[in-house]
Amino acid sequence: MTFQDIFKSSFLENVTSVSLLDMVLALVLAFGIGLFIFMVYKKTFSGVMYSSSFGVTLVALTMITTMVILAVTSNVVLSLGMVGALSIVRFRTAIKEPLDIAFLFWSIAVGIVLAAGMIPLAVFGSVVIGLILLVFVNKKSFENPYILVLQCEDQAVEAQAKAFLESNTKRCVVKSKTVQQGLIELNLEVRLKDDDTGFVNALCGLEGVHSAVLVSYNGDYMG
């Protein structure tokens, strides 16, 4: 054993396992595509409250995934250890919007593809996915359901109000009914014929109708 072998370090040998140019190029592309994912998320967000921290997470997740995959592809032994290390990670943050899962998976997939050297696939695929999301998520649809909260005096007024709704909406279904002394409250799911909600004003003007409240509904929340 020579003097040079004593100070020989396997850690120092791994420093040059990934070239500096590859690292810089992969991380810069990951940041750029991650920023594009963030902008698409911001444009297509349709939830209750927008969280800017989630958008920043998408950028960071793309870069982190790229860094991890670069390390894994450069060392087979490291890849086995990385699998064991990542298996103990637990994410406890609840994902309330189903579309957020698609953005998270998109960020991870871009990081993996970039680190694997498939740059055209990462760029072209991200552009196509972004355009599809922008077109379909932002597409306004008159078929979106609404919840109508109606308060009226008696059964005769209820029947009159329901007949009015059936003639002015595409679909009208009673979801719940609450009856009190001198008051009937109905929760109805309605689908509009067009974007005009003026029928609510006419409905509230009917004799015996106390109030009519129309709110949008997506299955998870009302507001």
Each residue's pLDDT tens digit, 70-105: 877 766 556 555 655 555 556 566 667 778 888 989
Report the alpha-carbon distance of residue 199 to residue 206 in Å, rounded. Answer: 11
Q: Residues 179, 182, 187, CA angle at the centre, nearest 5°?
A: 35
User: Cα–Cα distance between 193 and 35 in angstroms, integer?
Assistant: 39
pTM of the model: 0.62
Q: In this structure, are 16 and 74 located in the same domain? A: yes
Tokens of 75: 């060392």
Final residue belonging to a domain, choices 83, 105, 137:
137
130 in the same domain as 64: yes
Same domain, 23 and 64: yes
- pLDDT, tens only, 144-186: 788 888 888 888 888 888 888 888 888 888 888 888 888 889 8
11: pLDDT strictly greater than 70: no
Q: Looking at beta carbons, which pairs linking 174-183 to residues 24 or more positions away fall under 8 Å?
A: 175/147, 182/153, 182/154, 183/151, 183/152, 183/153, 183/210
Domain end among 71, 106, 137: 137
User: Can you tell me the distance from the alpha carbon of 182 to that of 169, in angstroms, rounded to the nearest whole number?
Assistant: 27
Written as one string, the DSSP assignment of 188-223 is EEEE-SSS--THHHHHHTSTTEEEEEEEEB-SS-B-
> H-helix or E-strand containing 58?
helix 52-74
Task: Find all residues with CB under 8 Å of 83, minimum gap 6, and list them.
Answer: none
Contact residues for 128 (Cβ-Cβ < 8 A; gap 6+): none
Instruction: Based on the fold, state whether residues 100 and 192 are members of the same structural domain.
Output: no
Question: Structurally, how many domains does the chain consist of?
Answer: 2
Tokens of 122: 């990462």
Domain span at residue 20 reads 3-137
Same domain for 109 and 180, yes or no, is no
Answer yes or no: do 31 and 65 share one domain: yes
